[in-house]
Every structure is written in structure tokens, then in C-alpha cells.
Amino acid sequence: MAHGVTPSFNANPLDAMEWDGFDYLVPDVDKVVPNARLPQGLATIDALKLLAESMSADDPADSTIPAPYTYFGQFIDHDITLTTAAGPTDPDREVNKPFFDPLDPTNIPGVLKNRRTSGFDLDCLYGLQPVPGEEDLAVPFAGDKFVIGLVSAVGNRPPGAADDNDLPRVERGRPNFRRARIGDPRNDENIIVAQLHLAFLKFHNAVVDDGFSFADARKLVTQHYQWLVLTDFLPRICDPSVVRSVLQKGNRLYRARNGEKFMPLEFAVAAYRFGHSMVRSVYDFNRNFRKSGAVQAPGRLDFLFRFTGLKGDLGGSQDTLPENWIVEWDMMLQDHAMQIDPTLTPFLMDMPNESPDLMKKLATRNLFKGYLFSLPTGQALAEALLPVEQRMTPADVIAACRPGRPGEKSQGEILESSGLHKTTPLWFYVLAEAKWWRGRGNHLGPLGSLIVSETIIGLIRENPESVLNRPFLPTLGTEIGRFDLQDLFIKAGVLNSRVATRVA
């Protein structure tokens, strides 16, 4: 990497695009199912608060999904969604009020705008222009390649790791010191997604090193990314039969309306938030920071947030990532995400560096926003979209819940006493369904798989240049015709060879 080259900034034509709005994936659910939404009133808000508080659990069970896919899911989210208030109603302020009414479903499409291009075109990597006053955060290039940041020397560097293993950052003495100069600043909120973003930067640079121009490299990187999403990520986190059906038979739910794409609320506010339940409290991040036998300390989630430039301070004394925090992807690939179920690690129940208070409590925030945006209940969507044998009964919902602790109401008791076992918030229903369905927490169930597959495949189909609309066969993996996350790591030079992932 030619670090001495003065970087230029990406003049990105995506800045001129019209941004997508939000709408319901199933806009006419009320015509099909009576009482399709949560009951309105303070009793529901109180029940949602109790339900959220019951979701805290210390890493109860591993899934069969390798741990990096949790954060690849986050990377995808940052590539296709950035929710912004489009008018006077600010959702974050609304849900922080002691009492709030759900928004009128007919008005919600005008409340939000999506400040990301949703066609899986990697604008989170290649960058949109920064807002005035934040020019220091523009994505830097050296010729056709991304500038890569250098780590700080502190000792205990993982064997074989080079200096170029950090995101490019704003230098000391400038505004936004330590902030990452990347296409989406959210990809520096924890180290795992930051190191994943770094792998994508290196992947692009490796393709340029093969002799491709910037434009051709960007096209190849984007195509391989779309292939990876469709053939590796989706079949891991969804029921594979649902993914196959949508790919082979076409979308029946997600299509552009009146020629305009949209981001489905059922996806963005509920179903795609399944990844929150996959987050571990501690990881085998590298030999220095792991679950047991670490050289330095446990690889705790709070450390993974602290040693960043967005949510933390890189440890406080360094200008860039300390070298002992370079990820070892072979170890992470042999670690596991948690099972998808109605529980979250305690860290996500009281997140640091968030304001106002409700933003610290991820489960409460998720449930309150589903209520605010008048999402259909899980039962309403299941009745509208699924055959009877794939719908959860109230007893099934309760059976999928976490058992109660001594002296506390269980999740099932909270649901039953409030009636929410029959009208379950969509996000909670999707998590419970994953535990109830035949995957037993190793992938989403019928409804969650349908919403996620329809949305992701539909958005890629709506991109006329995507791999679903242009002939494409991946060529950058270890085998022609296959390309998964390990192939990307190997091509990027952050993984030496393929790793045999163990079964949970």
C-alpha cells in the first residue's frame, strides 16, 4: 500500500440519488386479519417495558452460525439502511416520552427516509460525500486503491499481522480526531464490524492489484458481495428452503411500487433485528482477548466497543487501533454466534455512550419502535402469509420463551398476563419463532425467513446491475463459482487459508 501518496476524495454520483422511503411489506394486512396491530394504551407500553427487561440473559446457547456472520449482518444493514426522520416527528424522541401513541399507519411512509442506497451497491464502502464541516471524514484514496490505516505499537501483535490493519482515521489536531474515514461511520462502532470493513477495503485493493481499474474493481467487488449475501449469508440465517423458493420462483411480497423502491418497516424495525440476539458477551477475538486462556484479558463486548473511534476512544492513548487488537479471523470463524431466541446479552440492555436513556436499552427501544410504527403483530402476518402448520399458537410462543428467574415473572407470564401471547410484537415473535421452528435457534423460522429473504432478494432484484439481472459467476474465490465470507477474507489477505468451522 502506497501510504505516502496524497489521497484524493471520492466524487460519488450516488450523492445525487433520490432516497428511498419506508412502507409496509404487507400494506393491506388489516383487510385480511382483524385487529392486526398491538392494542393501544399505557397497558401495552408497560407490558412491552416488562417484556424487554425480561430478555437479558448471559450467553445461554451457541448456534451453528460462525460468529463473524453476526457482524456481516450488521455491515449489510449499514449498507442498505440509515433511518432518518423526514418531518417533525422524531421517532427517538417519541419513544422516550412517558406515554406515546402509535403513528397512523397511513401516514408512516412520509415519516421516515432511508439515507442509504438500498441496492446492495456498497455505498457504505465507497462512500457518500460528508456533510459540510466533516470533510475530514471523506473516504481517502491513493490512486485506485483505498488508503489503509496503520496500527499503533503497544506489543502483543498477532503473529504475521502487518502495520496496515486499521481503518484510515482523522489525524491528531484535526476536528473528529480518531474518527474513521469510511463510507459509513457506524462501521467503526465495534471492532469486529470495523475489522470486517477493513477486510472489504483490502479486498478492493487486492482486485486493483490484479490489474483492474477502480471502476472495474468496484464492479467486481460489488458483484461478489451480492453473491456472498445471496448464497452464503441468507441460507445461513434463514430457512434455506425459503431462500431457494424466493430465488427460484420470484418475489411475491417485495416489489417496487409505482416504480419506486422502498424499505419495508416489518424488515427494518423488526425482522432484521434478529441479529441483536446473536451477539455474544465475550468472543474469541484473537489470542490476546478470548473467552478463556487469553494472553491479556477476556474478549468482552464492552472492550470491543471501547477500542473504536465512534463508540470509544481506541483505549485512550493511541491515535489508531492498538496492534494487540488486530482480529484473528481463523479464531473468530471457529467461534459461534448465540442462538436466535428471545434473549439478548446484558451489555445490550444497558449500552454505554448512548443518549438519551432509552437508547441504552436496545430491547426496549426495539419493542417501543415496533409499537410506534404500528407494525402488525407476528400472529397477524403469520395468518396473512403462512400456512396454518407454520404459524405459532399462543402456547408455542410461551414455550419458546426464556424460563423465569427466582422472584421474577417469566417472559411467558408477562405475555400471558398482558394478552401479548396472542398479539405478539413482531420482533419478539420472530425471535421466539426461530427458537420454536425446526432450526431450534440456528436460523430464522418461517415468518422471519420470509420477511428477510423477500426484502434482501427483492432489493437486489430491483438493482438493474445486480447479479440477479446480469450474467455473473464468481471468480475471486478459492474455487470458480463459489464465493463465501472465508473467500473474501483470503482474497483480502486477512485469512491465510480456509478454516473448518466446528458444529455447535
Model confidence over 309-338: pLDDT tens digits?
998 999 888 999 999 999 999 999 999 999
Q: How many residues does the chain have?
A: 504
Q: 129 versus 390: which is more confidently predicted? A: 390
pLDDT in tens, 391-443: 999 999 999 998 888 888 899 999 999 999 999 999 999 999 999 999 999 99
- Alpha-carbon Rg for the chain, nearest whole angstrom, is 22
Residue showing cell 470491543:
304
Q: How confident is the model at residue 3 (pLDDT cuts 50, 70, 90)?
A: very low
Mark out the alpha helices in 462-502 (DSSP H runs). Answer: 485-492
pLDDT of residue 356: 57
pLDDT in tens, 456-489: 999 999 999 999 999 999 999 999 999 999 999 9
Averaged pLDDT, 78-92 = 85
End-to-end Cα, the chain, rounded Å: 39
Is pLDDT at 136 greater than 70 in this prediction?
yes
Across all residues in the chain, what is the average pLDDT?
92
Helical (H) or strand (E) element with 372:
helix 362-372
Q: Where are the domains of the chain?
A: 8-492
Residue showing cell 481499474:
213
Q: How confident is the model at residue 96 (pLDDT cuts 50, 70, 90)?
A: confident
Is pLDDT at 10 greater than 70 in this prediction?
no
- The matching CATH number, chosen from 3.30.70.1520, 1.10.640.10, 1.20.1510.10, 3.40.50.620, for 8-492 is 1.10.640.10
Is pLDDT at 98 greater than 90 in this prediction?
no
Is pLDDT at 13 greater than 60 in this prediction?
no
Q: How confident is the model at residue 354 (pLDDT cuts 50, 70, 90)?
A: low
Helix axis angle for 362-372 and 426-436, nearest 10°, is 120
* CA pair distance 97, 470, nearest whole angstrom: 48
Q: How confident is the model at residue 11 (pLDDT cuts 50, 70, 90)?
A: very low
Is pLDDT at 502 greater than 70 in this prediction?
no
Query: 414 is written with which cell numbers?
Result: 408477562
Is pLDDT at 7 greater than 70 in this prediction?
no
pLDDT of residue 4: 32
pLDDT in tens, 38-58: 999 999 999 999 999 999 988
Smallest CA-to-CA distance from 23 within 377, 261, 331, 259 is with 261
Percent of the chain with pLDDT over 90: 79
Query: 267 is written with which cell numbers?
Result: 424488515
Is pLDDT at 63 greater than 60 in this prediction?
yes
Is pLDDT at 9 greater than 60 in this prediction?
no
Residues 6+ apart with CB under 8 A from 403: 410
* CA pair distance 488, 255, nearest whole angstrom: 30
Q: In what order do the strands lie in the sheet with 83-85?
A: 83-85, 112-114, 20-23, 262-264
Averaged pLDDT, 380-399 = 97
Averaged pLDDT, 180-205 = 96
